[in-house]
A and B are shown apart, each in its own frame.
Chain A
Amino acid sequence: KAGVTQTPRYLIKTRGQQVTLSCSPISGHRSVSWYQQTPGQGLQFLFEYFSETQRNKGNFPGRFSGRQFSNSRSEMNVSTLELGDSALYLCASSGGQGVTEAFFGQGTRLTVV
Chain B
Amino acid sequence: LAKTTQPISMDSYEGQEVNITCSHNNIATNDYITWYQQFPSQGPRFIIQGYKTKVTNEVASLFIPADRKSSTLSLPRVSLSDTAVYYCLVGPSPRSNDYKLSFGAGTTVTVRA
Q: Which residues of A contact B (CB under 8 A)?
A: 4, 31, 33, 35, 42-45, 48, 50, 55-56, 58, 88, 90-92, 94-95, 99-107, 109
Question: How many A-B residue contacts, CB cutoff 8 Å?
Answer: 69
Name the residue on B nearest A58 (C-beta): B100
User: CA–CA, A65 to B34, complex, Å?
Assistant: 27
Residues of B with C-beta under 8 A to A45? 100-103
Residues of A with C-beta under 8 A to B100? 33, 45, 48, 56, 58
B17-25, B43-51, B58-66, B76-84: which lies at the A interface? B43-51
Residues of A with C-beta under 8 A to B99? 31, 33, 48, 55-56, 94-95
User: A100 contacts which of B41, B95, B101 (Cβ < 8 Å)?
Assistant: B95
Residue pairs across A and B with Cβ atoms less than 8 A apart, 21 shown, are A31-B94, A31-B99, A35-B101, A42-B103, A43-B87, A43-B101, A45-B101, A56-B98, A56-B100, A90-B43, A92-B43, A94-B94, A100-B95, A101-B34, A101-B49, A102-B44, A102-B101, A104-B42, A104-B43, A105-B43, A107-B41
